[in-house]
Amino acid sequence: MTVRTRFAPSPTGFMHLGGVRTALYNYLYARKMGGQFILRIEDTDQARFVEGATEVIYDTLKACGLNWDEGPDNGGPCGPYVQSERKDLYLPYARQLVESGHAYYCFCTEEELAGRRQDAEKRGETFKYDKHCLHLRPEEVQARLDRGDPYVIRLNAPTEGVSTYVDEVYGEMSFPNDTLDDMVLIKADGLPTYNFANVIDDHLMGITHVMRGAEYLSSTPKYNLLYDALGWERPVYVHLPTVMRDSQHKLSKRDGDA
């Protein structure tokens, strides 16, 4: 097996030292194993896009000598390596998941969701989508799609049992399934969420080892549901402890950390 690692930053803020650390580990492991290191830009969240952030990613990696074997500028067999340039390839996978019962169309509006979120907060609960649209009759779903109603596609996460996987750093990780939310896979603008595109691309790009920040440990069970539902092999997971600004705060792109 050829090892393939990737650094997959979102240009939602300027790259900081934590990002460099993630890139370094991916780079070093690929080099040590005689594999490939891939750069992929995850820019499907247009609302949070920060002008100039992509250039900082390229410049920083180059300045640190973390040269990528495949990426937006030098291409490769799995290109393009910028998600907004791949935007049409995700929807068919989401539809496949709808057909197999692992995902469903949701027509709830932002306002409806905001109302239900508020209600949950009043009850002191964390809001989780209540699977309202999972229970729509197929004819109604079709009629609404035909009518052109805006929709998103959501993961149909199990509500019982436990999801388990092994992380190379943290060991066996277990999460009760009732803590997993029915995350959005395809947004109302037709673009995939980061959560969905990330899995599809890691598979299509043949990524064998996923090394990223530990903040993704709790999302990984949902990614695994996607791998399993699509019949794809899960990658090896290597979550890296958070780089801290001080004893309380992690480094954050949103806060403009160095």
Other beta carbons within 10 Å of 254? 9
Least distance between ligand GLU and beta carbon 146 (Å): 35
By beta-carbon proximity to ligand GLU, the closer residue of 14 and 216 is 216
CA angle 176, 222, 5 (to 5 degrees): 130
By beta-carbon proximity to ligand GLU, the closer residue of 188 and 214 is 214
Exposure string of 49-87, with b = 16+ CB inside 10 Å and e = fewer, is eeeebbebbbebbeeeebebbbbbeeebebeebbbeebb
C-beta nearest to ligand GLU: residue: 212
Least distance between ligand GLU and beta carbon 176 (Å): 23
Positions that interact with ligand GLU (CB under 6 A): 8-10, 42, 194, 198, 212, 216
By beta-carbon proximity to ligand GLU, the closer residue of 25 and 216 is 216
By beta-carbon proximity to ligand GLU, the closer residue of 8 and 103 is 8
32 is annotated as an active-site residue: no
Give, rounded to a whole angstrom, the gap between the first and last alpha carbons of the chain: 37
Of 32, 62, 222, 253, the active-site residue reads: 253
Give the Å distances, CA to CA, from 12 to 49, 50, 83, 178: 5, 5, 14, 30
Rg (CA), the chain: 19
Least distance between ligand GLU and beta carbon 216 (Å): 6
Least distance between ligand GLU and beta carbon 61 (Å): 14
- As annotated, the active-site residues are 253
